[in-house]
Amino acid sequence: MTMTTWQGIITILMAVLGTMLTRFLPFILFPESKEPPRLITYLGTVLPYAMTGLLVVYSLKGTQPLTGNHGIPEALAIIAIILLHLWKKNMLLSIAGGTAIYMALIQLVF
């Protein structure tokens, strides 16, 4: 199904409005001169770890470790991520290194 020109313009404007709202609303609600509520501060410290854990669980949900060699590349990549992070304390390096190791294992070994 194709959109008319006006439908396309309205769709783009709604996407722009949604993007601008999510970008500017925190600065409007919590100006720099005003202390944010304790709940917001708490969520800012807790949510990054919660989202990372959620992504790990989501990415491993289809893994069946008891069938064949499934789960071995995932386990080795997780170990590599943990070791890299303990060694360098750099989240980007840990994620990129673990992804590279996982892809190398999948493409070349398993």
| C-alpha closest to that of 14 among 3, 2, 27 | 3
Q: Report the pLDDT value the prediction gives residue 84, as an integer from 0 to 100.
A: 96
Q: Report the pLDDT value the prediction gives residue 70, as an integer from 0 to 100.
A: 80
Q: Give the CA count within 13 Å in the CB-facing half-sphere of 72.
A: 9
**DSSP state, residue 36:** P
pTM of the predicted protein model: 0.63
Mention every residue, 6+ apart, whose C-beta is less than 8 A from residue 87.
none
CA distance 93 to 101: 12
Average pLDDT by consecutive 10-residue portion of the chain (110 residues)? 94 98 93 91 94 92 81 92 95 94 93
